[in-house]
């Protein structure tokens, strides 16, 4: 049966792109997000306008009418992030996810496939426990992962939590169903979090050769737009900036604060000159001389494996694969600051696509 997906908390559509990586014939038939700038990008790239209706106000009848067999979820991370208050189910921003967990019990035909993305620490949350308890009860086969893009050959270290859940269909062989039921029912108590994007029965992935950062760079002059302002550097005494060179093979996680004055922990900065100079990352005077600049939104999008160049960039340069059905670009209405913020709230398309292809849709004829 063809994949008909619903994308909840859709943002820039990273889960949509990941689904297309796994199955180019799959369709997202509806999406929801409250951010107007994210929705403008989504419509610009997919021709589909996400609803701004709060997910906590959806009902089973509304969901049923889409006749969807796949749910894609990237709920807000703030209730779970280690740098926040970790309010979990007591945080109002968790209401959308918890409401969808309840709707799973109410829809006429629960989706066969479910994919969830969130931050590390979600795996210890009560929200996750409630989700998996429901999936157990509805007889889903569940797998959970903590994976970084570095593991699939992308030069960005953005480890995230992922869950895949697949429900057995009535027409599948009874003995297979019984074996799956026996494995799924006690899942919550025996859960293990895998750290490679492989099916549990597969051997470990071969190490990927991570390309240097120069492969992701634009030809950008260091000017007032992208250069890190001097006062950003000098006012932070002894702060160790994460500075990378074009021949580096790792960038740190880009957050929604990237590009603003909140530089602490917001992402890597690119050194553009004085490459032979030795310096300490907390030596402010030396740092002022290395031409430190922000990564452009296009570069960050490439590091998140969005197909921003209209080619199969998310496939890691695999020329044998066809281009993705939808390329990625920003509409002219989105400002530079908004681009960085939206990307900071997004995810890595290649990790998502790999997990959907190799785990969620494994051995499935779509």
Q: Is 203 exposed, middle or buried (0-12, 13-18, 19+ CB in 10 A)?
A: exposed
Q: For residue 14, what are the CA distances in angstroms to 10, 20, 244, 261, 327?
A: 7, 10, 25, 26, 12
Cβ contacts of 5 within 8 Å, gap of 6 or more: 16, 19, 26, 27, 28, 29, 68, 69, 70, 71, 72, 113
Tell me the per-residue pLDDT of 219-258, one tens digit each, with 9 for 90 and over.
877 677 899 988 888 887 767 789 999 999 999 999 999 9
Task: Assess whether 77 carries a catalytic annotation.
Answer: yes
Q: According to the model, what pLDDT value does residue 216 have?
A: 95
Per-residue pLDDT tens for 300-320?
A: 999 999 998 755 444 455 556
Cβ neighbours of residue 193 under 8 Å, at least 6 residues apart?
A: 123, 144, 145, 146, 161
The pair of three-digit structure tokens given for residue 342, joined into one six-digit string: 């939206």
pLDDT at residue 199 greater than cutoff 90: no
pLDDT, residue 205, reads: 47
Rounded Cα–Cα distance for residues 80 and 69 (Å): 28
For position 353, what pLDDT does the model report? Answer: 95
Other residues' Cβ atoms within 10 Å of the Cβ of residue 143:
21
Write the pLDDT tens digit of every residue in 23-39: 999 999 999 999 999 99
Residue 117 has pLDDT above 60, yes or no: yes
Confidence category of residue 185, pLDDT binned at 50, 70, 90: very low
pLDDT band at 201 (very low <50, low <70, confident <90, very high): low
Average pLDDT, the chain: 86
CA–CA gap between residue 167 and residue 140 (Å, rounded): 4
Query: What pLDDT score was predicted for residue 319?
Result: 58
Alpha helices in the chain (DSSP H): 14-22, 36-46, 60-64, 95-104, 126-137, 174-184, 187-190, 230-234, 284-287, 297-303, 336-344, 349-355
Domain residue extents for the chain: 4-205+348-360
Burial class (CB in 10 A: 0-12, 13-18, 19+), 220: middle
| Pairing between β-strand 243-244 and β-strand 27-32 as defined by DSSP bridges | unpaired
pLDDT at 265: 84
The pLDDT value recorded for residue 283 is 81
Exactly one of 41, 77, 169, 253 is catalytic; which is it?
77
- For the CA atoms of 269, 275, 281, 283, what is the dihedral angle to 10 degrees? -120
Greater confidence (263 vs 22) lies with: 22
Residues 166-184 have a mean pLDDT of 56
Q: Tell me, what's the pLDDT at 280?
A: 79
Question: Which of the two residues, 172 and 287, has the higher pLDDT score?
Answer: 287
Side by side, the strands of the sheet bearing 243-244 are 243-244, 269-270, 293-294
How would DSSP label each residue in 63-117? HHTT--SEEEE---STTT-TTS---GGGSGGGHHHHHHHHHHTTSSS--SEEEEE
Domain 4-205+348-360, CATH class in plain words: alpha beta
**In a 3-state reduction of DSSP, which class is residue 210?**
coil
Determine how many CB atoms are found less than 10 A away from the CB of residue 168.
Answer: 18
pTM exceeding 0.85:
yes
**Contact yes or no for 277/286 (Cβ under 8 A):** yes
Bin 86: left if φ > 0, else alpha if -120 < ψ < 50, else beta.
left
Tokens of 285: 């005077």
User: How far apart are alpha carbons 114 and 46 in whole angstroms?
Assistant: 21
C-alpha–C-alpha distance, residues 172 and 330, integer Å: 43
* Token representation of residue 12: 């820039």
Residue 129: both structure tokens together: 């426990």
Four-residue CA torsion sign, 278, 283, 286, 288 = positive
Residue 187's pLDDT band (cuts 50, 70, 90): very low
């Amino acid at each position: 049966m063809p994949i008909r997906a619903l994308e909840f908390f859709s943002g820039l559509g990273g889960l949509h792109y990941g689904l297309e990586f796994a199955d180019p014939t799959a369709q997202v038939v509806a999406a929801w997000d409250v951010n107007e700038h994210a929705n403008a990008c989504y419509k610009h790239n997919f021709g589909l306008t996400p609803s701004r209706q709060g997910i906590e106000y959806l009902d089973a009848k509304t969901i049923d009418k889409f006749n969807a067999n796949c749910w894609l979820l990237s709920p807000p991370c703030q209730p779970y992030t280690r740098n926040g208050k970790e309010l979990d189910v007591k945080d109002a921003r968790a209401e959308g996810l918890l409401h969808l967990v309840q709707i799973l019990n109410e829809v006429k035909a629960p989706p066969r496939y479910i994919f969830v993305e969130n931050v590390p620490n979600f795996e210890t949350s009560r929200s996750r426990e409630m989700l998996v308890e429901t999936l157990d009860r509805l007889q889903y086969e569940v797998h959970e992962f903590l994976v970084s893009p570095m593991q699939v050959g992308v030069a960005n270290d953005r480890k995230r939590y992922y869950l895949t859940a697949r429900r057995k269909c009535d027409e599948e062989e009874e003995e297979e169903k019984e074996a799956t039921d026996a494995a799924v029912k006690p899942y919550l108590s025996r859960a293990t979090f895998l750290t490679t994007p492989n099916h549990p029965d597969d051997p470990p992935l071969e190490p990927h050769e991570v390309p240097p950062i120069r492969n992701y760079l634009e030809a950008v002059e260091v000017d007032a737009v992208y250069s890190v302002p001097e006062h950003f550097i000098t006012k932070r005494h002894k702060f160790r900036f994460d500075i990378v060179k074009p021949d580096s093979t790792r960038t740190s996680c880009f957050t929604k604060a990237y590009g603003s004055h909140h530089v602490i922990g917001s992402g890597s900065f690119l050194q553009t000159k004085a490459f032979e100079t030795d310096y300490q990352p907390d030596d402010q005077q030396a740092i002022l001389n290395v031409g430190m600049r922000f990564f452009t939104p296009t570069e960050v999008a490439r590091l998140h494996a969005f197909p921003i160049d209209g080619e199969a960039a998310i496939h890691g340069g695999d020329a044998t694969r066809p281009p993705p059905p939808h390329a990625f670009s920003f509409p002219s209405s989105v400002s530079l600051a908004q681009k960085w913020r939206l990307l900071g709230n997004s995810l890595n398309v290649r990790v998502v696509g790999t997990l959907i292809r190799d785990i969620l849709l494994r051995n499935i004829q779509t």
